[in-house]
A and B are shown apart, each in its own frame.
Chain A
């Protein structure tokens, strides 16, 4: 075992903790800080259930080592909105019944929030038409764009038919 000290700002609160170098950001959140909002679906980067914002970007927290992200700011689905309130994306998921078991949902919601910001910044996807967003303008998100950009979030319950409209409603706002 090799222990190191790291600090993480999680959902607005600063934490300082000693972790084994092997500890992922996901395990630090769940096992050490008691934040079970991000889920462990695969631990191999294949499902997206562990998605959090790390310094503002969506990432798979299962593949990010805590020691490599010392000092980072983490936002989980639980911290998207002030305590007791819903983030508008969460409200859209509820309105569209965009989940069944709910296991993938925190990852889906964080991913969707970050994905809208990426499209607003003009980032293309594999289905974006040539040049769209290249001048810095936003990319318009149709259902194909949403499916492609959300493909890193799997849903074992296959709630996709409701996830896409939930994200689409938020994208139209």
Chain B
């Protein structure tokens, strides 16, 4: 690991100012991703600004029913929070499906959303990677395809976003609160993460030194009927091959409203708007669920080694829709 300076600011604007003056610096949350990447020599910050004790570590309900989660709330606390479990069960399920008890204790809400891809070529400095080193080329396209994207990829990068939490938040239309050199912003989480296009080194639309201070969940009474399903190579402690989150509102067998997110399929947590549109107003039947999933995945462009993911994503989504519809966990 390369040497670096370590700083703690007294307040958010101080932290932002510290990084603004250091182009090659980074915020430190729990460190479970950043310290790992520094050890691998993938991340080479010369300054770490510790923000774990800077932003709020509280989960609070606002008067209008929104729930605000401070960026420093550990993943374990968010998953175990009674309000979150009751109102947004898919958020808790997504977190609990990820990492391990030890990691969730260290990992923060802000850091989770900004964790970097698990593409093995990105993590290995001896293999060219456009995300790590713009213009170097992409080793994954001619490499091992198992965990790569099937939707929204580009010739420059075919990596996936690894966060389970982000998939649940995308389906719930969460809002990310930030503060940067240009002031505060409220960013819909569906716009936070980017598709790779020609700039895969940019995971998100955040500016350098822009700090996530909190995440807000909008009131959504029917989100009590939501769940997260994750499919992976082993039963626990592994990243998603494919995951699906479904929030479903039905009446008399008809879909009144629905929100769907897919994980493990794209460079960003994928909001499945095509499938949602196909389902709204129609009968809540397995056949319709399959048609909707297929409509969403019609845009899939798998690589030779991950064509299986298209069917896996379809089946995972259909199964999750059935589970929520039938009240199964």
Contact = CB atoms under 8 A, between A and B. Distances in A.
B80 A123 contact: yes
Contacts of A156: none
A58 B105 CA distance: 7
Interface string A1-21: 110100000000000000011
A1 B3 contact: yes
Contacts, number: 115
Which interface class (under 10, 10 to 19, 20 to 34, 35 or more) fits B? 35 or more
A165 interface: no
Interface string A98-123: 00000000000001001100100111
Interface residues of A, number: 46
B329 A124 contact: no
Chain A contact surface mostly: loop
A83 interface: no
Contacts of A2: 3-6
B112 interface: no
A152 B329 contact: no
Given A124-B79, A126-B97, A149-B101, A63 B106 contact: yes
Interface of B: 1, 3-6, 28, 30-32, 35-36, 38-40, 48, 50, 52, 76, 79-80, 82, 85-86, 89, 92-93, 96-97, 99-103, 105-106, 235-237, 329
Given A58-B101, A151-B237, 6 more contacts: A59-B102, A63-B32, A64-B35, A118-B101, A128-B96, A134-B82
9 contacts: A2-B4, A21-B6, A63-B31, A63-B35, A64-B30, A65-B28, A124-B79, A129-B329, A151-B237
10 closest residue pairs by CB, A with B: A152-B100, A151-B236, A151-B237, A123-B80, A126-B96, A57-B105, A21-B6, A22-B1, A60-B102, A152-B102
